[in-house]
Structure 1
Amino acid sequence: MKWNLRLAAANRGIWKASELQRMLAERGVVISAGKMSGLWSGRPNTVKLDELDVICAVLGCGVEELLLPEPEQVPEPTPVTDSQAAAVGQPRAIAPRPRTGRSLPPR
């Protein structure tokens, strides 16, 4: 996913992270300077859903404008060889055991 906060804010005339930070604080979301720097500069470590909700409300946008999918960045699946399957522990067929009465009570 590509984080697109800076462009979404610029499209609405918000050019400084501190300005957006103040607007978020007015809506009850207090973000530290370090976290705001991460949000503003590119790839934040985390974004809480509550924060994302408020960011969308402040900017008047949807999540699809802030988070852009990048399917080309997802690696292709690699074929599994027989030796890799054995090493990983390929699931094997499970045969049911016949029940021979009731279990014993705990000691």
Structure 2
Amino acid sequence: MKWNLRWAAAKRDIWRPSDLLAAFTEVGFTPSLSKVAALWSGKPTTVRLDDLDKICAALNCTVADLLEAEPLAADGELEHDARRVAGGDDEPVRPTPRRGRARGSLPPN
């Protein structure tokens, strides 16, 4: 998902987080300046749906203006990348059994 807050704000001639905070205040949305700066500077991990509604109201935009779907890598590419990172070659990585403990025994009390 691509976060387009700065683009949506620029369409309203808002170029700084402090100006964005003022636009939020106009619609009754009062996050802290640090929260606004975090939304401004990068892609947020989470955004509450009611906050998303207030952001859209402040910027006179839609959710589609703020969030843009990005294509995912093909399944084969994901598997290849996982193997390369985990094992360093194209062979599948298989777990190895633990040794030294009796199977089925309980841990000590």
Structure 1 residue 26, shift from structure 2 partner: 2.4
Structure 1 residue identity aligned to 2:56: C
Aligned equivalents of 1:11, 1:53: Cα separation in 2: 18
Preserved contact between residue 2 and residue 69 of structure 2 (Cα < 8 Å): yes
Sequence identity, in percent? Answer: 50
State the TM-score, normalized to the length of structure 2.
Answer: 0.63
> Which segments of 5 or more consecutive residues in structure 2 lack a partner in the other structure?
80-93, 95-109
TM-superposition CA deviations, 1:30-70 (whole Å, max 9, x none):
11122111110121132111111011111111111100111
**Backbone CA RMSD of aligned residues:** 2.5
Q: For residues 55-94 of structure 1, what are the structure 2 equivalents within 5 Å?
A: 55-72=55-72, 74=73, 76=75, 78=79
Aligned equivalents of 1:16, 1:71: Cα separation in 2: 30
> Which segments of 5 or more consecutive residues in structure 1 lack a partner in the other structure?
79-83, 85-107
Aligned equivalents of 1:20, 1:41: Cα separation in 2: 12
Change (3 A) 1:32 1:48: same
Specify the SS of the correspondent of 1:71: coil
Q: For residues 6-85 of structure 1, what are the structure 2 equivalents within 5 Å?
A: 6-72=6-72, 74=73, 76=75, 78=79
Aligned equivalents of 1:26, 1:11: Cα separation in 2: 17
Aligned equivalents of 2:49, 2:22: Cα separation in 1: 19
Structure 1 residue 24, shift from structure 2 partner: 0.9
State the TM-score, normalized to the length of structure 1.
Answer: 0.64
Aligned equivalents of 1:75, 1:39: Cα separation in 2: 29
Whose relative contact order is higher, 1 or 2, with alpha carbons under 8 Å and at least 6 apart?
A: 1
